[in-house]
């Protein structure tokens, strides 16, 4: 069994987002980095599948050299090795990203055999394009379904479930090799152990330099890429004036007065 | 005149079965305003469903001139993302569409991604506004709406999904019914491999988080799975659902189905009582549609205070039980 999981390094924003002066990016001077919770569940699933069935798990990212941190994090949880498609740190649009990832999958498979399963997040945390996994699947001609919160591997097939729009669940069957987009809730990811972190330091990161966006295969073929970001802005939020109802348990009567006033508790 | 704007219209489920769903109607309202900017381009719709004809005709009130319906059971019998995407791409080509717009729902986003991938066209997800031109300028949501991106779409067919609840439904009574055209796309067997093969009904009894009028929220400040009994007691008294932060689900204190935020549920209750929740932006995007927020937090400076309407500064383990006791006392 071979499983590939794709993750994207994003800033860990806290209570509020601060942009750089040119409006091109989030100011990350004081921020740490992470991956989407959806992708964390993807990493955990890849590790569990290989623990149960044997084989190899691989984590892949397209990003700046610093994205090695997120690859090591995934390897600390048990992923066997990593591929870093190293950019110059500029932003890559989803069309170009998918084209390069699809090419890389072809090359990895030519060298090491087919991936039974390629796992993406349902959407990236920062850009939220909802498309890279599907574009890769279309490029490779593989079955794909997004939004999964349950995966069961059979022999040669996968049973998957996702939440239905009106409540409840819908199930899908996919023949392997397949591609899936997963959501947080798929599983409960483990925390890294100290031995896991030490082992991760020794694991292999294969670096492939790809440079600036627009240097990828889509640009070469002349197909349209994008959307092309021109500027980031913070949405205008209505400022609310907070009314302090009191401190500690003594505030209880004031709270219940409020609950009665707004009709949540009967008078 | 320009080619049509083609809108993917999803049919509702449950009580709304057989009619267009709400986010699709919002998407049509958006398409109608875009069409005005394109010198009155027609708005056409694609509906997939064995009994979609009635729903298609009714879209006239939402500005649709022609509703194309796919009724072939092989495609319409069960949701099949690749097949629906292929149908949308084929129809866009046949009609010379200048844009394809879908609702920013799970299915809408998925079908548009398939269609865009097949057409070799870029796709902008969760768009709030668009200005046609040689290349189109769009404003779209990032970080689930806590950040906006201005971007350009350069392609002969512009693919977008519409952010849910960004525009109001625009229904005009007395409009002529939409023409209904049956559409039989050429679908390859490979595109029908992935389809819905089964349904599990929602578990009965519990109050749905997304429908609840009152939600009692718990974060790291609750401290343990066991301490949630204090919040459950209050929720029970208020007929409320429980909502939680990601710290709570990551610790395994509560199931992920109760998580509110960017990678959880979006809620819009009349009252959200946020207990021991700091108000990280990824949590806020899930609860900012609440009419009122009451924060219970030891830290008067925590970011949740910037969004809250009311607050109690203090230890939730004292405040929450005291509120429950006071409700019981007044009930007699
Ligand atoms: C891409 C991405 C997606 C994410 N998606 C989500 C999401 O969907 N939902 C989500 O919630 N988070 C999400 N997060 C995580 C988010 O950034 C925060 O880490 C998380 O919301 C913090 O949870 P919290 O408020 O419970 O914990 P903390 O931030 O640790 O806050 C705890 C709060 O409790 C207060 N407190 C402590 N003890 C008490 C007490 N005894 N009484 C009263 N108050 C007390 C503290 O003052 C503090 O304000 C996401 C993060 C990323 C990067
Ligand atoms: N730069 C990247 N490197 C690796 N994987 C990515 C990258 N961008 C997106 N992905 C994957 O594609 C998924 C969907 O991304 P998006 O289409 O941007 O919402 C993400 O959750 C990742 O799994």
Q: Which of B320, B315, B313 is nearest to B230 (CA)?
A: B320
Best probe of the B interface among A10, A159, A242, A253, by most B CBs < 10 A, is: A242
Distance CA A250, CA A218 (A): 64
| Minimum Cα–Cα distance from B292: chain A residue | A262
Q: Are the Cβ atoms of A16 and B81 closer than 8 angstroms?
A: no
- Phi, psi at A97, each rounded to 5°: -60, -50
**Which residue's C-alpha comes closest to atom 28 of ligand 1?**
B278
Estimate the crossing angle of helix A94-112 against helix A132-140, to 10 degrees.
50
- Position B132 confidence tier, pLDDT thresholds 50, 70, 90: very high
pLDDT at A220 over 70: no
Q: Is A37 in the pocket of ligand 1 (CB under 6 A)?
A: yes
What is each CA distance from B129 to A237, B20, B101, B144, B166, in whole angstroms?
17, 22, 12, 16, 9
3-state secondary structure of A212: coil
Whole-number Å distance, alpha carbon A130 to ligand 2 midpoint, is 8
Q: Are the Cβ atoms of A249 and B319 closer than 8 angstroms?
A: yes
Distance CA B289, CA B270 (A): 9
Where do runs of H (alpha helix) occur along B96-241? 106-119, 228-238
Taking the Cβ of residue A68 and every Cβ of chain B, the question of whether any pair is shorter than 8 Å is answered with no
Average pLDDT over residues A22-47: 96
CB B198 within 8 A of CB A171: yes
A residues 192-231 near B, CB within 8 Å? 223-231
Torsional class of B109: left (φ above 0), alpha (ψ -120 to 50), beta (otherwise): alpha
**Which residue's C-alpha comes closest to atom 1 of ligand 2?**
A62
Q: Are the Cβ atoms of A244 and B311 closer than 8 angstroms?
A: yes
B1-53, pLDDT tens digit by residue? Answer: 689 999 999 998 777 778 999 999 999 999 999 999 898 999 999 999 998 99
Q: Is B218 in the pocket of ligand 1 (CB under 6 A)?
A: no
| Ligand 2 atom nearest residue A5's Cα | 23
Option in B106, B122, B152 nearest A147 (CB): B106
Burial grade of A232 (CB within 10 A; 0-12, 13-18, 19 or more): buried
Out of B209, B218, B245, B259, mutate this one to test ligand 1's pocket (max ligand atoms within 8 Å of CB): namely B245
pTM of the model: 0.96
Longest dimension (CA), chain A: 72
Distance CA B88, CA B113 (A): 11
CB A3 within 8 A of CB A57: yes
Longest dimension (CA), chain B: 71
CB A209 within 8 A of CB A68: no
Taking the Cβ of residue A16 and every Cβ of chain B, the question of whether any pair is shorter than 8 Å is answered with yes
Q: Is A12 in the pocket of ligand 1 (CB under 6 A)?
A: yes
A177-197, pLDDT tens digit by residue? Answer: 999 999 999 999 999 999 999
- Compute and round to an integer the Cα radius of gyration of chain A: 22
CA A134 to chain B, closest CA, distance in angstroms equals: 6
Q: Which chain B residues are closer than 8 Å to A17 by Cβ?
A: 143, 146-147, 281
**Which residue's C-alpha comes closest to atom 29 of ligand 1?**
B278
Number of helices (H) and strands (E), helices first, in chain B? Answer: 9, 15
Q: Which H or E element spans position B324?
A: helix B316-331
Burial grade of B330 (CB within 10 A; 0-12, 13-18, 19 or more): middle
Distance CA A87, CA A210 (A): 5
Distance CA B58, CA A85 (A): 50
Tell me which ligand sits closest to the C-alpha of residue B276.
1
What is each CA distance from B226 to B222, B248, B252, in whole angstroms?
9, 12, 11
Q: Is B95 in the pocket of ligand 1 (CB under 6 A)?
A: no
Average pLDDT over residues A67-81: 98
Q: What is the mean pLDDT of chain B?
A: 95
**Which residue's C-alpha comes closest to atom 23 of ligand 2?**
A120
A100-149, pLDDT tens digit by residue? Answer: 999 999 999 999 999 999 999 999 999 999 999 999 999 999 999 999 99
CA B174 to chain A, closest CA, distance in angstroms equals: 30
Q: Are the Cβ atoms of B292 and A262 closer than 8 angstroms?
A: yes
Q: Is A70 in the pocket of ligand 2 (CB under 6 A)?
A: no
The whole-number pLDDT of residue B207 equals 73
Q: What is the mean pLDDT of chain A?
A: 94
Q: Which chain B residues are closer than 8 Å to A233 by Cβ?
A: 139, 147-150
The whole-number pLDDT of residue B17 equals 78
The whole-number pLDDT of residue A222 equals 62
CB A43 within 8 A of CB A189: yes
Q: Is A125 in the pocket of ligand 1 (CB under 6 A)?
A: yes
The whole-number pLDDT of residue B145 equals 94
Q: Are the Cβ atoms of A94 and B295 closer than 8 angstroms?
A: no
Tell me which ligand sits closest to the C-alpha of residue A216.
2
B56-94, pLDDT tens digit by residue? Answer: 999 999 999 999 999 999 999 999 999 999 999 999 999
CB A12 within 8 A of CB A35: no
């Amino acid at each position: 069994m071979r499983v590939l999981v794709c993750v994207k390094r994003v800033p860990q924003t806290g209570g509020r987002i601060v942009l750089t002066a040119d409006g091109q990016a989030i100011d990350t001077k004081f921020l740490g980095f992470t991956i989407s919770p959806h992708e964390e569940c993807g990493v955990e699933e890849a590790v569990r599948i290989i623990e149960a069935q044997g084989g190899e798990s691989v984590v892949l990212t397209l990003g700046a050299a610093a994205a090695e941190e997120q690859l090591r994090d995934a390897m600390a949880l048990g992923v066997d090795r990593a591929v870093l498609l190293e950019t110059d740190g500029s932003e890559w649009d989803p069309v170009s990203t998918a084209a390069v990832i699809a090419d890389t999958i072809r090359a990895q498979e030519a060298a090491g055999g087919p991936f039974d399963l390629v796992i993406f997040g349902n959407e990236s945390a920062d850009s939220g394009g909802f498309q890279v996994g599907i574009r890769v699947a279309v490029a490779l001609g593989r079955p794909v379904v997004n939004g999964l919160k349950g995966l069961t591997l059979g022999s040669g097939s996968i049973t998957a479930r996702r939440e239905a729009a009106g409540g409840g669940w819908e199930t899908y069957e996919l023949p392997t090799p397949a591609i899936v987009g997963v959501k947080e809730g798929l599983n409960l990811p483990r925390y890294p152990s100290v031995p896991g972190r030490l082992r991760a330091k020794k694991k292999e990161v294969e670096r492939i330099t790809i440079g600036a966006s627009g240097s990828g295969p889509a640009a070469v073929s002349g197909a349209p890429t994008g959307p092309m970001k021109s500027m980031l802005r913070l949405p205008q939020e209505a400022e609310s004036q907070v009314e302090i109802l009191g401190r500690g348990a003594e505030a209880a009567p004031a709270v219940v007065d409020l609950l009665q006033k707004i009709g949540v508790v009967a008078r | 005149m320009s080619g049509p704007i083609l809108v993917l219209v999803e049919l509702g489920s449950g009580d709304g079965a057989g009619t267009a769903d709400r986010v699709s109607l919002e998407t049509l309202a958006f398409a109608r305003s875009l069409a005005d900017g394109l010198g009155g381009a027609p708005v056409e719709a694609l509906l997939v469903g064995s009994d979609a004809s009635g729903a298609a005709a009714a879209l006239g009130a939402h500005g649709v001139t022609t509703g194309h319906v796919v009724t072939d059971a092989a495609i319409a019998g069960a949701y099949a993302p690749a097949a629906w995407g292929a149908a949308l791409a084929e129809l866009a080509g046949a009609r010379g569409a200048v844009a394809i717009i879908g609702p920013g729902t799970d299915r809408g986003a998925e079908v548009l991604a398939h269609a865009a991938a097949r057409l070799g066209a870029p796709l902008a997800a969760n768009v709030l506004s668009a200005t046609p031109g040689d290349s189109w300028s769009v404003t779209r949501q990032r970080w689930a709406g806590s950040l906006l991106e201005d971007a350009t779409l350069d392609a002969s067919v512009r693919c977008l999904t519409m952010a849910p609840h960004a525009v109001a439904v625009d229904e005009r009574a007395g409009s002529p019914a939409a023409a209904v055209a049956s559409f039989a796309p050429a679908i390859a067997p490979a595109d029908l491999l992935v389809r819905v093969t089964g349904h599990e009904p929602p578990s009965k009894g519990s109050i749905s988080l997304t429908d609840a009028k009152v939600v009692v929220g718990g974060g790291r400040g609750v401290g343990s799975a066991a301490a949630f009994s204090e919040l459950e007691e209050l929720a029970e008294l208020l007929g409320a659902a429980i909502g939680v932060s990601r710290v709570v689900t990551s610790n395994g204190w509560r199931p992920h189905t109760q998580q509110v935020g960017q990678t959880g549920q979006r809620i819009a209750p009349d009252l959200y009582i946020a207990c021991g929740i700091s108000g990280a932006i990824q949590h806020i995007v899930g609860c900012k549609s609440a009419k009122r927020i009451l924060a219970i937090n030891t830290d008067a400076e925590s970011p949740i205070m910037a969004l809250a309407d009311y607050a109690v500064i203090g230890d939730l383990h004292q405040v929450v039980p005291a509120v429950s006791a006071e409700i019981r006392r007044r009930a007699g």
